[in-house]
Amino acid sequence: MVVGIMGAMPEEIEPILARLQGVQKHEIADNIYYTALYGSLDLVVAYSKIGKVFSALTAATMVEKFGVRKLLFSGVAGAINPELHIGDLIAATKLCQHDLDITAFGHPYGYVPEGKVFVEASPRLLEMAHEAAVKTGVKLRHGVIATGDQFVADEKRKRWIGETFGADALEMEGGAVAVVCDAMKVPFFILRAISDAADMDAGFDFDAFLESSSKKSADFIFAMLDVIDQAQ
């Protein structure tokens, strides 16, 4: 089985690539994709670059060019839910786009005709994530993740996103990956490690905790890969 692993930034996939052997590089559409074998799984790993357009392009390329049949996203996010703290892991049950706005035409925030406000993650992959969490003793939270082409460092905006979408965390890629995978019938799983509180100190916290949060997220992705491999 071909499994895709995505991040948005180099720091989010470096701890993944560091644990793989026989990695090969492929240059497609102004990006680099790394392939390697892990157990019985053929892996395709890439960082998309930040934002919804690049992440959608990368996800679609993984499916169309490499035949990815399951897609896992590993990265960091800002917390909205006050119960989430730096270093906590959250798996998206569903995702939305908080900056998508055609409310002038009578539609709700996050919606366009023939689209959805929320795209649900794969229930089976969420089950596998739970199994991986139990095996590794890792506390894995679940919740709604909101995506937008904004690095939110504003308490008012953060509160609005939480109230409007019931979101627990926010980031800049997951919702776009969800739309692509949903359209292409590819099961997906979005994992985020909390790196900041999406407030006025977000920029400082993000730089300080990006590396450690990315590693924690990547470690859990490998635990999931083991579960997927054993299920083959």
Active-site residue flag, 226:
no
Instruction: Exactly one of 99, 182, 196, 205 is catalytic; name it.
Output: 196
Between CA 48 and CA 162, with CA 220 as vertex, the angle to 5 degrees is 65
Q: What is the CATH number of the domain that holds 62?
A: 3.40.50.1580
Q: Are 217 and 193 in contact (CB under 8 A)?
A: yes
pLDDT at residue 212, as a whole number? 79
**Number of separate domains in the chain:** 1
Q: What is the pTM of this model?
A: 0.93
Query: What are the pLDDT digits (tens) for 96-148?
Result: 999 999 999 999 999 999 999 999 999 999 999 999 999 999 999 999 999 99
Domain that holds residue 169: 2-231
pLDDT at residue 202, as a whole number? 55
Report how far residue 2's alpha carbon sits from residue 169's, in angstroms, rounded to the nearest whole number. 29
pLDDT at residue 154, as a whole number? 86
Query: What are the pLDDT digits (tens) for 173-232?
Result: 999 999 999 999 999 999 999 887 766 565 555 666 777 778 888 899 999 999 999 998
Active-site residue flag, 196:
yes
Query: What are the pLDDT digits (tens) for 13-45?
Result: 999 999 999 999 999 999 999 999 999 999 999
pLDDT at residue 187, as a whole number? 98
Report how far residue 16's alpha carbon sits from residue 60's, in angstroms, rounded to the nearest whole number. 21
Q: How far apart are the first and last CA of the chain?
A: 8
